[in-house]
Structure 1
């Protein structure tokens, strides 16, 4: 589904140029649950900005569903993002003064769905994440774990092709973190949702079927490739 070949990323600050990603080569198949692990400053967030069509300023080639999107315009990137990706963040990024239903409905509104279709999909998605009946609640009155479930419901409401989750358990206690991880694993195993999870937590990463480790903007290990080599 996703193929990155020789991806390099540079940032400019004044007259200086910083090389942030170095010759990244990654393939991610439909239905995978992948962890991208690395310390702060390793380049993992920069990488997922490229994977999630948030950043079109890079060198190298990116094929999505066999389409050479490295040639796309910024407008085309935006369209790809809206139609294909769901995002889950550490700090939830919910509209705290809007109802749970209104938060979950946002991607559906952007997609031009009818009010009847939106209402049905919101209820269905909230049930899927264990929040049936919470439509009229306000996020500001909910626990961190419940807010993250709302965030996940919003991310999957429009049936994206894949999810990108950036430190999704970073603001939660260990018990709640495990509940959220169980939800992600259920979405992956039962719904076939492709999930790319950025984390610095080895305990979170080890629950994923594949772990890609990044240090200083370089992929230094990929458990999928290592397993393939071991099988040869």
Structure 2
């Protein structure tokens, strides 16, 4: 599904050019649940920005479903992102003054779906994440775990090919973190949703099928469950 070959990333700050990612080679198959781990500043977020089509300024080759997207224009990257990726963040990034239903509906509105289709899909995904009946609630009145469930519902509303979850349990207590992990695992197994998860938490990483460790912008290990 995803093949990165010799990916290098640089940032320019004034006269200085910083080499952030060094010759990253990585393959991710359809249906995998992958954890990307590493210390702060190791390059994890930079890597998932490239994987999730948020950053098109890199060196190397990126094949997505056998298409050479490193040759795409910025406009093509944007279309690819909107049609293929769902994002889940540590701080939820919800519109706190809008209802749960309106938050979940947002990507569907961008995708220009019909109103009736949007209403049906919102109900479906809220049921999937265990929030049936919460359509008229407001995120500002909900717990952290409930808000993260809303953000997951929003992320899966457009049937994305894969999810990128950036520290999705980082702002949650241990029990709630496990509830969210159980939800991710259920989506992965029952819906065959490919999930790429950045985490600092070894307990979260250990529940994934595969752990990719990055140190100083380099992949230093890539292990599958049981290895």
Common fold: TM-score over 0.5: yes
Contact preservation (8 Å) 2:209, 2:225: no
Aligned counterpart, 2:3: 3
Mapped to 2, the partners of 1:10 and 1:201 lie a distance apart of 27
- Aligned CA RMSD, in angstroms, stands at 1.1
Aligned counterpart, 2:187: 187
Aligned counterpart, 1:197: 197
Mapped to 2, the partners of 1:31 and 1:180 lie a distance apart of 18
CA displacement, residues 23-46 of structure 1 (integer Å, 9 cap, x when unaligned): 000000000000000110000000
Mapped to 1, the partners of 2:16 and 2:40 lie a distance apart of 21
Mapped to 2, the partners of 1:4 and 1:224 lie a distance apart of 18
Question: How many matched pairs?
Answer: 227
Mapped to 1, the partners of 2:226 and 2:48 lie a distance apart of 22
**For residues 210-225 of structure 1, what are the structure 2 equivalents within 5 Å?**
210-224=210-224
Large movers: runs of 4+ above 3 Å: 224-227
Residue 67 of structure 2 is aligned to residue 78 of structure 1: no
Contact preservation (8 Å) 2:161, 2:193: yes
Mapped to 1, the partners of 2:83 and 2:192 lie a distance apart of 17
- DSSP 3-state at the match of 2:78: helix
Q: CA deviation at 1:62?
A: 0.1
Contiguous gaps of at least 5 residues in structure 2:
none
Aligned counterpart, 2:148: 148
Q: CA deviation at 1:224?
A: 3.7
Q: CA deviation at 1:200?
A: 1.1
